[in-house]
Amino acid sequence: MAAAETAKHTYVYDFAEGNKDLKDLLGGKGANLAEMTNLGLPVPPGFTITTEACQAYLATGEQPAGLAEQIDTHLAALEATRGKRLGDPADPLLVSVRSGAKFSMPGMMETVLNVGLNDESVAGLSAQAGGNDRFAWDSYRRLIQMFGKTVCEVPGEEFEHALDEAKRAKGTGNDLDLDADDLRALVGTYKKIFSKHTGREFPQDPREQLDLAIRAVFDSWNADRAVLYRRQERIPADLGTAVNVVAMVFGNLGSDSGTGVAFTRDPATGAQGIYGDYLANAQGEDVVAGIRNTVPLQELERIDKRSYDELLRIMATLEGHYRDLCDIEFTIERGKLWMLQTRVGKRTAAAAFIIAAQLVDEGIIDLDEALHRVTGAQLAQLMFPRFDLGGAPEVLAKGVGASPGAAVGKAVFDSQRAVELAKQGEPVILVRRETNPDDLPGMIAAQGILTSRGGKTSHAAVVARGMGKTCVCGADSLEVDVRGGQFTVGGHTVREGDMISVDGTTGCVYRDKVQVQPSAVVRYFEGDVTPETTEDPLVAAVHRIMSHADAARRLRVRTNADTGPDAARARRFGAEGIGLCRTEHMFLGDRRELVERLILARTDEERQAALAALLPLQRADFVEIFREMDGLPVTVRLIDPPLHEFLPPLEELAVNVAVAQARGEDAAKDEALLAAVRRMHEQNPMLGLRGVRLGLVIPGLFAMQVRAIAEAAAERARDGGDPRPEIMVPLVGAVQELETVRAEAEKIIAEVRREQSVEILIGTMIEVPRAALTAGQIAEAAQFFSFGTNDLTQMGWGFSRDDVEGAFFWRYLELGIFGISPFESIDREGVGRLVRIAVDEGRAARPGLKVGVCGEHGGDPESVHFFHEVGLDYVSCSPFRVPVARLEAGRAAVESAGSDSR
Ligand code: PEP
Ligand code: MG
């Protein structure tokens, strides 16, 4: 306990004291610097101030007690190691102060280099660099610039402007042409800018510089752009950042110095090799700023073979140690290589699969680990069609890839126009500055959506994702002129009707029509290619990892399908049955007329006649589906949605009747229909006459459906098939509802069974909160449960599912009320709690009760993990998401097995 107490108050760790598993405390950068230090790699010495110190500072506005002393101690140790004192006029130690949170937030927070320089130590630095005055004054001006901007909020443009002026005066465009005198003069100008904005002189005390820089890094955690980034990436707001204080090494000391970045494998394709860039005589910020062109890393072999060879050795060590692709930042100071950073590198979705499979082949990781390293989101990305970039299409702009896919169409600038053109069969891309609920019809009509403002949580992004529509947001180089019906970008004008192509995965916007390629991964799932018939390493990698996921998972994966072709496709994608066959659509089209007759029936005979006409049609539907899913369970849900959806809209009918009456025509049929529509009109149809309520109110409706299912199964069995029907009753809230339906259904099944024996289960959806809360009672009457998490979310939150995503979810996401729509990913605490209660109480009442889920969440990666945890038997999702669910079910199984054994 005493040790834990002390550890809690340790706010500063030397690099030699940390390791890569301490990311929570030391941030990603600090933890990895520690790991490299302990591997004996050449890391400049330094120390890390913990995220706990940052949290304490952000909570109180004061540095926590003890922090200043601990910094003193570690700084003294650093000075001793380097044999120099911070800012010593004769021989200064300089340090960099760098942020580093647990999760990488590229470019979001702050860094200050060259801390420790002042009017005196600049001379000492020059002496250290062998009398290189130019270098010393350049370093000083960089400090004032970075410190001014980061720590004291001096507008960065003022410094840039002064630098440009100095170059102009010298008649050059290149920083390197400025000599020591120019830079000394520039330092004078910079200091004036600094004091004009801050009302004080540039701090000359090195320790004050250090303290202010540390504080600024802490504060940068709450800078607007960092807050926004965290919200978009769903990084918790309370983690705080660590601060790394590192002895400076210089890549800008001459041609024997330089800086670079490297990957141990190609992060785009996963191919093994040396990938990276090098820039001689430069510091890291020059690479980022793109001031001069880098050279491929291979060139370093020619420039400095010793450093190159050492770098390759280190890269191999890091890959072996991290057992993964690493990315690296390094600096060479006068022929001496220094490692400034490493981390497990980001990669494309395809590379994630390929690298994981490669590492298995190389014996570095096992298949469980490979499965852990890929995600369903990556697999989903690989299943979208992609643009064929072979012809190097012209990129007009780049925004945020907000909803994946490749969309091609004519640019249109207002919603109504999008609808008009789409009606004429034209593909369109709706281009707006930003969207609002009025744009919904246009968004629905468009192939894709492009906005110049907003990010991943903007209205356009949220709604497009909900619709599964391609969307690029925040392409801020576009000047969108909605009135003028055009946008301009980099001198180009795109007018209404011009073709554009948008890539919702990469955020790229292309001029003209770019060819779309089908996904190799989908072709694999379709059975068009196999690892044996293609050289594509992606297909082999996906095959290998999917096979392992299938072997590992405990959850079965079914599909939501209500036609034969959908069922067949889902089966090819690996579906192990149908978890939801919605029967509503079977009543549309030319059958609508029969449904109208059923609803309007005034006598039993009329109703029976309508039902008798529907029966053979329904039976034929089920025969086809049972055939496609032969040998696998098929859950057929009795009709669910509100009846008004089957009748003409009230306004339209009223107009027809009025017109007919005015003309003196016979409107008897429409009048009867209008009366019925009026009678059935509901203010809130989603909470009205739906589901089981409908079955109990319209005599014979459910009975007809049950008979169609039983007879179809009997027909299949007679023909040698193996049908496995399950009848599911929707929207049950009380066991009595289910009992009533079940009693009638069992009678019909028994009648059919007299001729042909087929086993048929009867179960219920759990989608009304009351059903979840009384699941113990309901389980007495149900042979299975299937969670309808769409309705359970709607009714659990009181959110109208058809309205809220377009109306206000973007605002909820912006405010961080939730990080993702609860219709997209299960709300674990609320709706998830209802699920848990129902599973536990249902199984307590009926041990071994089969339980699945058929709401949209069944195909959402995060939610699949939740359903694994609560012990469901299966998830069911749309055919296209079946592979994603299989993969995530496998990941959930290996991850929970891993944590059980820990
Ligand atoms: C559900 O509510 O989750 C469900 C699957 O049913 P539907 O979406 O058809 O209401
Ligand atoms: Mg439902």
With beta carbons less than 8 A apart as the criterion, state whether 486 and 495 touch: yes
From the CA of 810, how far away is ligand 2's center (Å)?
24
Where helices occur in 527-586 by DSSP H, the ranges are: 537-552, 564-572
For the chain, what is the largest distance between any 2 Cα atoms, rounded to a whole number of angstroms? 107
Angle value at C-alpha 392, between 387 and 395, nearest 5 degrees: 80
Lowest mean pLDDT among 65-79, 114-128, 213-227, 322-336: 213-227
Quick one: average pLDDT of 70-76? Answer: 97
Q: How far apart are CA 251 and CA 823, in angstroms?
A: 51
Tell me the binding residues for Mg(2+).
767, 791
Say what angle helices 51-60 and 206-220 make with each other, to 10 degrees.
80
Q: How far apart are CA 134 and CA 829, in angstroms?
A: 61
Ligand 1, residue 791: give the atom nearest the CA: 2
List the shell of residues around ion ligand 2, using CB closer than 5 Å: 767, 788, 791
Mutate to test the pocket of ligand 1, among 578, 638, 640, 881 (most ligand atoms within 8 A of CB): 640
Q: How far apart are CA 561 and CA 563, in angstroms?
A: 6
Coil, strand or helix at 386: strand
DSSP state of 108: T
With beta carbons less than 8 A apart as the criterion, state whether 540 and 524 touch: no
3-state secondary structure 815-826: CCCCCCCCCCCC
Mutate to test the pocket of ligand 1, among 731, 765, 790, 872 (most ligand atoms within 8 A of CB): 790
Q: How far apart are CA 323 and CA 360, in angstroms?
A: 10
From the CA of 504, how far away is ligand 1's center (Å)?
28
From the CA of 189, how far away is ligand 1's center (Å)?
67
Determine phi and psi for 744, rounding to 5 degrees. Answer: -65, -40
Nearest C-alpha neighbor of 475 from the set 446, 454, 459, 499: 454
From the CA of 151, how far away is ligand 1's center (Å)?
53
Quick one: average pLDDT of 805-811? Answer: 81
Ligand 1, residue 584: give the atom nearest the CA: 9
Q: Which tokens sit at 67?
A: 């922090």
Contacts of 177 (CB under 8 A, 6+ apart): 167, 170
Amino acid sitting at position 671: E
Quick one: average pLDDT of 623-627? Answer: 97
Q: What separation, in Å, do the N-terminal and C-terminal C-alpha atoms of the chain show?
A: 23
* Ligand 1 neighbours by CB, cut-off 6 Å: 580, 582, 640, 767, 788-791, 854-855
What ligand has the least distance to the C-alpha of 580?
1
Quick one: average pLDDT of 814-829? Answer: 88
DSSP string, 448-477: EEEESS--TTSHHHHHHHHHT-EEEE--TT
Nearest residue (by CA) to ligand 1, atom 6, is: 788
Contacts of 506 (CB under 8 A, 6+ apart): 398, 401
Cα 282 to Cα 98, 113, 247, 257, 693: the distances in Å are 18, 13, 17, 7, 74
**pLDDT cut 70: percent of the chain above it:** 97
With beta carbons less than 8 A apart as the criterion, state whether 403 and 469 touch: yes
| 285-289 contact pairs (CB < 8 A, 24+) | 285/113, 285/142, 286/252, 286/259, 287/259, 287/260, 287/261
Residues carrying an active site annotation: 459, 854
Nearest residue (by CA) to ligand 1, atom 4, is: 788
Ligand 1, residue 792: give the atom nearest the CA: 2
With beta carbons less than 8 A apart as the criterion, state whether 89 and 121 touch: yes
Cα 778 to Cα 166, 742, 764, 842: the distances in Å are 81, 12, 8, 7
Ligand 1, residue 790: give the atom nearest the CA: 3
Nearest residue (by CA) to ligand 1, atom 10, is: 791
Q: How far apart are CA 496 and CA 499, in angstroms?
A: 9
Ligand 1, residue 789: give the atom nearest the CA: 3
Q: How far apart are CA 799 and CA 794, in angstroms?
A: 5
Mutate to test the pocket of ligand 1, among 694, 764, 765 (most ligand atoms within 8 A of CB): 765
What ligand has the least distance to the C-alpha of 585?
1
Angle value at C-alpha 320, between 318 and 324, nearest 5 degrees: 80
What ligand has the least distance to the C-alpha of 692?
2
Amino acid sitting at position 694: L
Cα 2 to Cα 25, 51, 65, 492, 800: the distances in Å are 19, 21, 18, 68, 54
From the CA of 772, how far away is ligand 2's center (Å)?
14
From the CA of 788, how far away is ligand 2's center (Å)?
5
Q: Which tokens sit at 164?
A: 């440009």
pLDDT surpasses 50 at 136: yes
Mutate to test the pocket of ligand 1, among 791, 795, 875 (most ligand atoms within 8 A of CB): 791
pLDDT surpasses 50 at 424: yes
Q: Which residues is 329 bridged to in the sheet?
A: 261, 341
Q: Which tokens sit at 547?
A: 């096979």
Q: For residue range 626-676, what is the model confidence (pLDDT) as tens digits?
A: 999 999 999 999 999 777 777 778 888 899 899 999 999 988 888 888 888
Nearest C-alpha neighbor of 19 from the set 36, 43, 42: 36
What ligand has the least distance to the C-alpha of 582?
1
Q: How far apart are CA 363 and CA 352, in angstroms?
A: 17
Amino acid sitting at position 479: E
Ligand 1, residue 767: give the atom nearest the CA: 2
With beta carbons less than 8 A apart as the criterion, state whether 543 and 367 touch: no
Task: Please tell me the predicted confidence (pLDDT) of residue 746.
Answer: 97
pLDDT surpasses 70 at 5: no
Q: How far apart are CA 522 and CA 570, in angstroms?
A: 12
What ligand has the least distance to the C-alpha of 853?
1
Nearest residue (by CA) to ligand 1, atom 3, is: 788
Ligand 1, residue 788: give the atom nearest the CA: 3
Neighbouring C-alpha atoms within 13 Å toward the C-beta of 163: 15
Task: Please tell me the predicted confidence (pLDDT) of residue 1.
Answer: 38
What band does 419 get if pLDDT is binned at 50, 70 and 90?
Answer: very high
With beta carbons less than 8 A apart as the criterion, state whether 596 and 675 touch: no
pLDDT surpasses 60 at 290: no
Q: Which tokens sit at 595?
A: 């449904």
Amino acid sitting at position 482: V
From the CA of 435, how far away is ligand 1's center (Å)?
28
What band does 368 get if pLDDT is binned at 50, 70 and 90?
Answer: very high
Task: Please tell me the predicted confidence (pLDDT) of residue 104.
Answer: 78
Nearest residue (by CA) to ligand 1, atom 8, is: 790
Nearest residue (by CA) to ligand 1, atom 1, is: 788
DSSP state of 747: H
- What is the Rg, in whole angstroms, of the alpha carbon atoms belonging to the chain? 33
Q: For residue range 693-740, what is the model confidence (pLDDT) as tens digits?
A: 999 998 999 999 999 999 999 999 999 999 999 999 999 999 999 999
DSSP tally for the chain: helices H, then strands E = 37, 33
Tell me the binding residues for substrate.
582, 637, 767, 788-791
Cα 437 to Cα 218, 426, 806: the distances in Å are 39, 23, 6
What ligand has the least distance to the C-alpha of 858?
1
Q: How far apart are CA 396 and CA 631, in angstroms?
A: 52
Ligand 1, residue 560: give the atom nearest the CA: 5
Where helices occur in 788-881 by DSSP H, the ranges are: 789-797, 804-807, 809-814, 831-845, 861-869
Neighbouring C-alpha atoms within 13 Å toward the C-beta of 184: 11
The kind and range of the H/E element at 411 are strand 406-412
Mutate to test the pocket of ligand 1, among 559, 560, 580, 585 (most ligand atoms within 8 A of CB): 580
From the CA of 851, how far away is ligand 1's center (Å)?
15
What band does 825 get if pLDDT is binned at 50, 70 and 90?
Answer: very high
Q: For residue range 147-198, what is the model confidence (pLDDT) as tens digits?
A: 999 899 999 899 999 999 999 999 988 888 899 999 999 999 999 999 999 9
From the CA of 854, how far away is ligand 2's center (Å)?
9
With beta carbons less than 8 A apart as the criterion, state whether 243 and 218 touch: yes
Q: How far apart are CA 487 and CA 704, in angstroms?
A: 57
Angle value at C-alpha 257, between 252 and 260, nearest 5 degrees: 90
Beta strands at 85-86 and 46-49: parallel, antiparallel or unpaired: unpaired
Quick one: average pLDDT of 413-425? Answer: 94
Tell me the binding residues.
582, 637, 767, 788-791
Contacts of 885 (CB under 8 A, 6+ apart): 376, 555, 557, 858, 859, 864, 875, 877
Q: For residue range 480-529, what is the model confidence (pLDDT) as tens digits?
A: 999 999 999 988 999 999 999 999 988 999 999 999 988 999 999 999 99
With beta carbons less than 8 A apart as the criterion, state whether 375 and 356 touch: no
From the CA of 792, how far away is ligand 2's center (Å)?
8
From the CA of 410, how far away is ligand 1's center (Å)?
35
